[in-house]
Amino acid sequence: MHVEKVAYAIRKLRRVNATLRPEQFDIGSWVTRTECGTTACAIGWLLYDDVEAVKYLGVMPAFIGDNGQAALLLAPGGAPVTPACLLEQFGLVAAMFGITKEEAMDLFSGTHYSDLDREPTLTDVLDRFTMFFYLNGGTEEMLYDSDLHAMQIVERSLSEFTVDVEDEVF
C-alpha cells in the first residue's frame, strides 16, 4: 500500500466531507454533472477539479460517455502510460493506492456495504478507508490535517460565540 497516498486521500476526503451535502455523494457514480449540481463517489470527489491531486495520485480523469466510469493512468511526470491505457475503475484505484482490486472494491464499491441497510455515505467510506489505513501501517500523525483542524477550531469558536444584547436606549 502507498501509505502516503492513502493518507493524502483520507485527509482530502475529510475536508470534502466537512462541506458535502448528503445528496452530493453517490457511491455508484464516478462523477455526474447535472443542472442541479455535481454528485460523485469518494474517488470522484478526491479527483474532482483538483489538478494537484491528479498529479500527486498519478491519474487523469478521462470520462467516457454520459456516466463515465474509467480514468487514464498517468506515468510519473504526467504522461499517459499508453494512449489507450483505460482502466476499469477499481483497477485504477488499486493501482493508485498500491492495493489489490479486491481491496479497492471492498473500500469503494456500493455492493460491499450491504450490511448498512441504506446507501453508504462518504462518512461510511471514510470510516472503512481509515480503518484499512491503520491496519496496513498508517499512523494518526500521517492523517493530521492542519487546514481541517483550523477550520474545526473556527467553527467551534463561532458556535460558542454569543452576543449579549443590552436593553435598547431611546
Beta-strand ranges (E) seen in the chain are: 31-34, 37-40, 59-61, 70-73, 86-88
Q: Over 50: is that where the pLDDT of 39 sits?
A: yes
* Encoded amino acid at 66, one letter: D
**Of 42 and 159, more confident:** 42
CB-based contacts of 101: which residues, under 8 Å, 6+ apart?
A: 90, 91, 94
What is the percent of the chain where pLDDT is above 70? 69
User: Who's near 104: CB < 8 A, 6+ residues apart?
Assistant: 90, 91, 93, 94, 97
pTM above 0.95, yes or no: no
pLDDT of residue 38: 79
Burial of 46 (0-12, 13-18, 19+ CB in 10 A): buried
Q: pLDDT confidence of 51, banded at 50, 70, 90?
A: confident
Sequence ranges of the domains in the chain: 3-159
- Predicted confidence at residue 107, as pLDDT, reads 95
For residue 115, the Cα-to-chain-centroid distance in whole angstroms is: 21
* Joined grid coordinates for residue 119: 446507501
The model's confidence at residue 70, banded by pLDDT at 50, 70 and 90, is very low
What angle in degrees, to the nearest 10, is found between the helix axes of 3-19 and 89-97? 120
